[in-house]
Structure 1
């Protein structure tokens, strides 16, 4: 043990703590990775270097930042067969906790390049190899993207392996920088061309770029500009041209024509040209009424509220579509209450009403009650047939006079059966936006939810509120309500700072986390909180290296 290099010995201890099988570890297999900056930049580099290693006893291996193998190149048939036998192949994870000490996982753990020679591997079936791993970091942001590893048979090992791995990593980073410059140049060129030729307001949007020309700033005040920015969020990443309308707070309707811009086959971003659709005698639209139990003043929310108010005023039957938790039920009941109708409103939920749903619906309508049927996408075929018959009777004026009916459905859940049976009775569909499309309403919603939870004296600091407004809110307003309830359970007055938010709110990663990743993220956040943001102490408490905790903080977007 005394002859083993210190960082190898420490790696063995980590591998032991992770209970890695010392003879035949079983690396996790992960589904194929999506296209990424790393893959695009690495392909030409790997192709060039692999040609130099063709039929040589050395293989180039590219992994992501979790140690999952993305690509393999070069190597003779005997070496490739040996690598396949230990699953060092695309799709398999070579993180240290999966297979123990190795050039990929250990480089990730220590945050530095490393050569692991045959007997330095933790597991027996890897000791036939030597592997050199070098980290690939984004040349602009510094984010860890992955590892380039060179593996060979142990008897062929020499110090040049690590030098070659470092060279490959540098070439990939240079290619990433070139591509970033190409993307930025393509987007900037498209933006300048649009500004010259359109003679009107132009916006350019990219992954991390937002540009608005002077004409856009002159035509639209700050409130309208914020609404335009909100509308452009959904255009980021779109690869096809499209046109959409934005109903701005000033009452102007903006026609926004999006055209994607490419650098080769890579999407650089998109150019949006804006034209106003202002009718003669235009009068700015009022801000809209305050609805009972509702909060929100964004252009998006006011638009959907106004649209629903108009349908209720006209007694038009309506379908509300929205994601779970977006507030479709709350909105429709609030609008009905505000409308001043002297009719009662009954709400029937398909998921809880049971087999007598249609009988209850008939009874309510015959009693002169307006009706909302929630979760209409869950109706079975029998219920669809019976409701079709009931609605036809109503349309024929044989059941009740002028009833009003609304259906709520989950976004994207309307199928052919529902469309065929019922939707022709409903002349309008209102799309209720998810919370991520009107994040400027988060402060008002927070105040409403805290008041409802019995904490009117509890406030959120500006940094804490800003943090909430950076989150994707996959569960929408219901999710926000759960977070506010969690805060109120431990505090009912005073000021909530960022560190007082639940763990899930102190990270800003946009990807969906697995259950295991969620637990890991929360454990890191809690350890940092317990040790006053001392990363070394938190890492020691969690049994991970300092390099690993820094990587986890970066990967999960944890605010420290």
Structure 2
């Protein structure tokens, strides 16, 4: 038996937790309790059919195509698993890593759960619902110990549910703690693709679902449309899979608003108030008088606790670096919203700004509060209390970066979070975006392919806003003819083109973010990144990071 099996079989929990990170130790325990042994091979896990037309794969494919180009010739691979932890797509940088992964069981349709594959960056991320790196010997199954993998959950921005897991894997000798940024950014791009591809009917369903859920406190509320099933916490406790299938069928058959009575498979009789919404329906369920059976008291108790929960209107946090389009995204979600700008605090008194906030939050219109990271801590706390009583949706925009404890009480109210990727993380978008921006400036202007290639090579710390400024300046500097590289050079003096690979850009982004979080303290930055200060200084020089 392996050393891993010996430690676990002897029940040496203290030793296990002292030698492994907590997340890994707990995963090993779950793997062992499921009856798995370290000698287990993945070939014993069955292969299932996968949906090649799924919405996740449709949204992820453009990102996977770009990653495949980025990783071509490297020893890395990316794996995509669906909401059932089954592999649905794989991309490899070299034949060697493809051969090794296939030999150890990576196959489309194979399900990676902890009870059949142990601790790894797909199965364990699927279990804990947060990003995780699993390095070498941290894998539970012996066959996987040659690899290091980074996994990130893909959360549907409409439903808030886990849609899949994205994994980056390589042999351990290619490991770098900075690779996590690369796969994390790719997962964010996939989530944004899911958002862009979501139908208008789903947005309408989401708004109606939150409206009914906030008005019907103490009710089980569900929202159903093709491919989407939303439910509030009370519905999660009350319904099982048979009930959900019945409600989905009811929504598909309904032609108008209606009220009816049905018996759930768990026993209770419920009154269902159904409201048609576009291609779906929102239903509020309440236990009918005398409708509880043997297990009724348990459900009634949960219902009582649900009634006591504080209710609030939907609150979405849109996060991103400066210039990524946070305000534009918020206004796209709610075009008729009242806009409250936190940067106006520099131009008026706190009392005047707060009075404006009270006025904006008391109405029935959606409210956008822009740049909440600029709020003083006490004002953020007061605003959080005010938003608890709102009946209309609220959107907050916040700069992405280190944790923000001073605004934690405000941000913790969020029902949904949308992360906007930086422009340098999606270089494939730079050329089409540049054409769109230039067309808005002057529909008659054109830009050369060489100029577009130059724009694509730049790192864009100011994101879309900086790109727009460069193009506007170039257009003003040369008002006639095609914009070429010379005009871009004039528009951005001193802006050198930084030639970095995608993995190097991920390294640069990670180092810059950690440096900022630690006030440019090199010792702390190196410690968090698990590299020496010598390595940190070397990489900063190579990546063009000042300081």
TM-score normalised per structure 2: 0.40
TM-score normalised per structure 1: 0.39
Q: Which has the larger radius of gyration?
A: 1
